[in-house]
């Protein structure tokens, strides 16, 4: 089912030629850089951003705070995985060919793309991670969404996706990350707390290195102080 217009009169196609035309006019080194960035580099940067956010989330004051923060960070890559799975039936239903199969004169920077075009897996992955990070930490989320936007531009620049493939990927990634977030947090937060309470895996959830005493130890300290006062009296 080719459900999307692929004629030259479509503004989607015109914008494709405008953006992809930049690749033809660019120096060879810049095109090769954009190829690597669009295919691998930005996704790697998003993974590193998730790890950076997780490292900071572990340093929250209490185990409960850290566990909820870590659970939110973990949801970001999980949301990306779920969104890509949801995209499988969408692609098979729409069956939109890659743009270079229907349009001549495109500068295609990546070979071997034989699957369907709508929606873009790269755009879906990137935006799901970006929005998932925004739920966990606004500053990291803004950075992730900016990287996702650049990813979408790169996919059109490389000649492997229409602009609407990218927009569809953004919408799908955002929808999965936001709509499933409450359910994900309800499941992941207790799991993160259980991992944090285990001596073997506690450091994955809570760094516990900011000088904050566990709440359970406070009554013992108060009791010890009371005994010392009684002895002194």
pLDDT of 65 reads 86
pLDDT of 142 reads 97
Q: How many residues does the chain have?
A: 233
Contact 145, 128 (CB under 8 A): no
pLDDT < 70 regions, the chain: 1-9, 209-233
pLDDT of 9 reads 57
Which residue reads 């990927």 in tokens? 169
Distance, in Å, from the CA atom of 141 to the CA atom of 132, rounded to the nearest integer, reads 7
pLDDT of 181 reads 95
CA distances in angstroms from 46 to 6, 15, 17, 33, 182, listed in the order given: 32, 27, 28, 17, 22
Which residue reads 């890509």 in tokens? 84
pLDDT of 44 reads 96
Contact 136, 69 (CB under 8 A): yes
pLDDT of 70 reads 93
pLDDT of 108 reads 86
Taking every pair of Cα atoms in the chain, the longest distance, rounded to a whole number of angstroms, is 95
The span from the first CA to the last CA of the chain, in angstroms, equals 88
pLDDT of 125 reads 96
Distance, in Å, from the CA atom of 225 to the CA atom of 6, rounded to the nearest integer, reads 78
User: pTM for this structure?
Assistant: 0.82
pLDDT of 110 reads 87
Distance, in Å, from the CA atom of 178 to the CA atom of 135, rounded to the nearest integer, reads 8
CA distances in angstroms from 8 to 13, 39, 116, 163, listed in the order given: 6, 26, 19, 14
pLDDT of 8 reads 46
Residues near 104 by Cβ (< 8 Å), separated by ≥ 6?
Answer: none
SS3 61: coil
Distance, in Å, from the CA atom of 222 to the CA atom of 230, rounded to the nearest integer, reads 12
205: nearest Cα among 102, 71, 90: 71
């Amino acid at each position: 089912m080719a459900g999307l217009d692929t004629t030259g009169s479509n503004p989607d196609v015109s914008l494709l030629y405008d953006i992809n035309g930049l690749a033809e006019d660019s120096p060879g080194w810049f095109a090769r850089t954009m190829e690597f960035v669009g295919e691998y580099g930005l996704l790697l940067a998003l993974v590193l951003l998730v790890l950076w956010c997780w490292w900071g989330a572990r340093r929250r004051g209490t185990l409960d705070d850290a566990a909820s923060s870590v659970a939110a960070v973990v949801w970001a890559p999980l949301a990306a995985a779920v969104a890509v799975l949801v995209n499988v039936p969408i692609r098979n239903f729409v069956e939109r060919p890659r743009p270079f199969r229907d349009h001549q004169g495109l500068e295609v920077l990546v070979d071997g793309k034989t699957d369907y075009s709508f929606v873009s897996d790269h755009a879906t992955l990137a935006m799901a991670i970006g929005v998932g990070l925004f739920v966990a930490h606004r500053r990291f989320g803004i950075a992730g969404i900016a990287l996702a936007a650049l990813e979408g531009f790169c996919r059109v620049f490389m000649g492997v996706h229409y602009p609407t493939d990218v927009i569809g990927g953004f919408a799908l990634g955002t929808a999965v990350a936001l709509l499933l977030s409450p359910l994900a947090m309800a499941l992941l937060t207790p799991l993160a707390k259980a991992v944090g309470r285990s001596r073997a895996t506690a450091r994955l959830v809570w760094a516990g290195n900011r000088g904050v005493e566990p709440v359970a130890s406070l009554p013992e300290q108060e009791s010890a102080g009371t005994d010392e006062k009684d002895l002194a009296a």
